[in-house]
Amino acid sequence: MAIQNTFIMVKPDGVRRGLVGEVISRFERKGLTLEKIRKLDIDEDLARHHYAEHVEKPFFPDLLEFITSGPVVAMQWSGESAVSVCRDLMGATDPKAASPGTIRGDFGLEVTENLVHGSDGIESAERELDIFFG
């Protein structure tokens, strides 16, 4: 078993709706540790870098408009198997399909505005932590 670090971000809808504390509380109650946190605005260059794997996807224009629409709260969380544990706490990408009890399942209804980002693996966690905290 290994301690991992992962990158988590409350997206602009979560910040606008006052759900930053709710998101932090869920990860804390699970037993994870908040290591770093910063609030920032994502510009187009940063969005294209962070979401490089999605730049050619049909939904990217909507994602770009959304993720640059207001401040986000970027975080580093650590703990046992933190990458997959955080993904499980977030729920499925489409909040309509996300299980109740997950962040997206409890607070979202629309796939673009799905409240949180979380790294999907150890390598993407290292890459994304370097982008936002390197």
Ligand X SMILES: Nc1nc2c(ncn2[C@@H]2O[C@H](COP(=O)(O)OP(=O)(O)O)[C@@H](O)[C@H]2O)c(=O)[nH]1
Catalytic residues: 117
Toward ligand X, which CB reaches closer, 32 or 98? 98
Site string for Mg ion, 71-110 (x = CB under 5 A): ----------------------------------------
Q: Map residue 36 onto helix, strand or coil.
A: strand
Identify the residue among 59, 97, 101, 130 touching ligand X (CB under 6 A): 59
Q: What is the C-alpha to C-alpha distance for residues 38 and 119, in angstroms, rounded to an integer? A: 17
Length of the chain, in residues: 134
| 111 binds ligand X, rule: CB under 6 A | yes
Contacts of 119 (CB under 8 A, 6+ apart): 6, 7, 8, 83, 86, 125, 128, 129
For ligand X, the binding residues (CB under 6 A) are: 54, 59, 62-63, 93, 111-112, 114, 117, 120
